[in-house]
């Protein structure tokens, strides 16, 4: 799992219990901003600016975890208030509710299990595989043991075991198993997926929150939930991220299959680039325009000249660029804004101004992907980090790859089409989706 930015701007996925077979017609589930009143993480005593400052600190922590993932080593930074998703699924027969972090930056599905030799504290009871009639341990000789690449044989025999470690020193170890994983949907029709491969963790520790009991990976690898429900999803999923400070509506939908179609006037598409590790969703960034002046990414050594030079991540708040490209666009942004500059108290943002509320001073910023020009609004590029201080949410990073974060994705319907090999953007008011 990639380290998570931005408690303030992450979203919670509530997927309820399931009792019927998956259908081919597609289905949708609810997306809830993590700090909205619907979320179990909601703290009514926190101000919006406290949430933003926490997000910035997690942004800094995320970098090393992603660097390890980019090198092909399983890693992640998990924090108890990071920019993660929560997924409420069921496992087993009879079904047991599991609340887990749902992560687009990792693949493995796992939960804490009884008997647990070393577990972090969680509020809900541990999953007990002995009480599930449909639970089965995967053997070392099974093809399902190869779905996740960090596996080995148990010391006592043929059981397939896994190990997963993360960038913040969190980890999980246990058995690879299969069971029925159940989801719900906003249509009210329950869905279940028999024979889903997951990790039953007996040795787990790190910066996990007591509200959760594991991770549900939504990345592009073979062991992720997205990959395992392939037929039911039709190789497609989409989401539309509601602005965090929306007063009209606090949730939207994560859709699969037929419900995930993104089309119509204003839709632009760019190729999904196949690269290792398969977990990440790679796009090709060709340039960024500020008030019509284009700065080509091809001249950035930090991005390289090949395809797939940036990943899109719904769990990362900020957009991270290599310093050489960022150093080109920052002066152009600064030249377009006639407001008093301010200092960022965290020392993380380079470009801040004295301004509150709607940031009308923001220049026109367009991100140019191959075949897709995405025109951003002010809230995609600026964030108020404390009262009266608004900062540019594109930041330089020494990371080996660039990241297109979720602030830049707000109020866009974004569709992932693996069969078609493309990712689509369509400007939308996500409070209506």
Active site members: 103, 313
Could you give the CA distance from residue 410 to residue 9 in angstroms, rounded to a whole number? Answer: 9
Tokens representing 121? 């504290």
Could you give the CA distance from residue 100 to residue 208 in angstroms, rounded to a whole number? Answer: 10
Could you give the CA distance from residue 17 to residue 200 in angstroms, rounded to a whole number? Answer: 19
The CA dihedral of 68, 73, 78, 83, to the nearest 10 degrees, is 70
- Tell me whether residue 38 is exposed, middle or buried, using C-beta atoms within 10 angstroms of its C-beta: 0 to 12, 13 to 18, 19 or more: middle
Tokens representing 135? 């639970």
Neighbouring C-alpha atoms within 13 Å toward the C-beta of 388: 5
Radius of gyration of the chain (CA): 21
Could you give the CA distance from residue 315 to residue 175 in angstroms, rounded to a whole number? Answer: 27
Task: Provide CB contacts within 8 A for 89, sequence distance 6+.
Answer: 15, 18, 97, 98, 100, 181, 182, 183, 216
In eight-state DSSP terms, residue 299 is G
Could you give the CA distance from residue 208 to residue 101 in angstroms, rounded to a whole number? Answer: 9
Given a contact cutoff of 8 angstroms between Cβ atoms, the answer to whether 269 and 371 are in contact is: yes
């Amino acid at each position: 799992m990639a380290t998570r930015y931005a408690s303030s701007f992450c979203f919670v996925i509530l997927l309820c219990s399931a009792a019927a077979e998956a259908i081919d017609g597609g289905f949708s589930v609810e997306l809830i901003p993590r700090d909205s009143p619907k979320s179990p993480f909601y703290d009514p005593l926190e101000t919006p600016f406290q949430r933003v400052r926490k997000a910035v600190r997690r942004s800094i922590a995320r970098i090393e975890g992603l660097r390890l993932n980019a090198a092909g080593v399983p890693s992640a930074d998990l924090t108890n208030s990071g920019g993660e998703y929560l997924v409420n699924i069921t496992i087993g027969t009879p079904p047991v509710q599991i609340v887990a972090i749902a992560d687009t930056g990792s693949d493995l599905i796992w939960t804490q299990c009884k008997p647990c030799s070393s577990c972090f504290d969680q509020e809900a009871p541990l999953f007990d595989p002995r009480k599930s009639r449909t639970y089965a341990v995967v053997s070392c000789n099974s093809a399902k043991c190869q779905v996740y690449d960090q596996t080995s044989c148990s010391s006592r025999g043929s059981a397939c075991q896994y190990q997963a470690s993360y960038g913040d020193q969190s980890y999980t170890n246990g058995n690879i198993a299969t069971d029925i994983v159940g989801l719900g949907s906003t249509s009210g029709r329950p869905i279940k997926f028999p024979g889903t491969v997951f990790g039953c963790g007996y040795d787990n520790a790190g910066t996990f929150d007591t509200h959760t009991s594991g991770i549900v990976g939504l990345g592009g690898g073979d062991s992720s939930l997205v990959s395992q429900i392939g037929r039911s999803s039709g190789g497609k999923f989409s989401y539309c991220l509601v602005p965090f400070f929306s007063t009209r509506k606090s949730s939207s939908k994560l859709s699969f299959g037929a419900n995930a179609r993104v089309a119509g006037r204003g839709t632009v598409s760019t190729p999904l680039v196949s690269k290792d590790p398969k977990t990440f969703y790679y796009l090709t960034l060709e340039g960024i325009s500020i008030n019509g002046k284009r700065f080509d990414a091809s001249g950035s050594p930090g991005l390289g000249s090949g395809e797939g030079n940036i990943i899109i991540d719904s769990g990362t708040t900020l957009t991270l660029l290599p310093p050489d490209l960022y150093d080109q666009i920052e002066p152009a942004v600064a030249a377009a804004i006639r407001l008093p500059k301010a200092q960022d108290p965290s020392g993380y943002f380079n470009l801040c101004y004295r301004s509150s509320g709607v940031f009308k001073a923001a220049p026109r910023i367009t991100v140019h992907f191959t075949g897709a020009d995405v025109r951003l609004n002010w809230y995609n590029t600026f964030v108020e980090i404390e009262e009266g201080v608004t900062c540019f949410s594109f930041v330089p990073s020494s990371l080996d790859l660039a990241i297109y974060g979720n602030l830049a994705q707000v109020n866009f319907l974004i569709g992932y089409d693996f069969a078609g090999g493309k990712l689509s953007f369509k400007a939308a008011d996500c409070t209506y989706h």
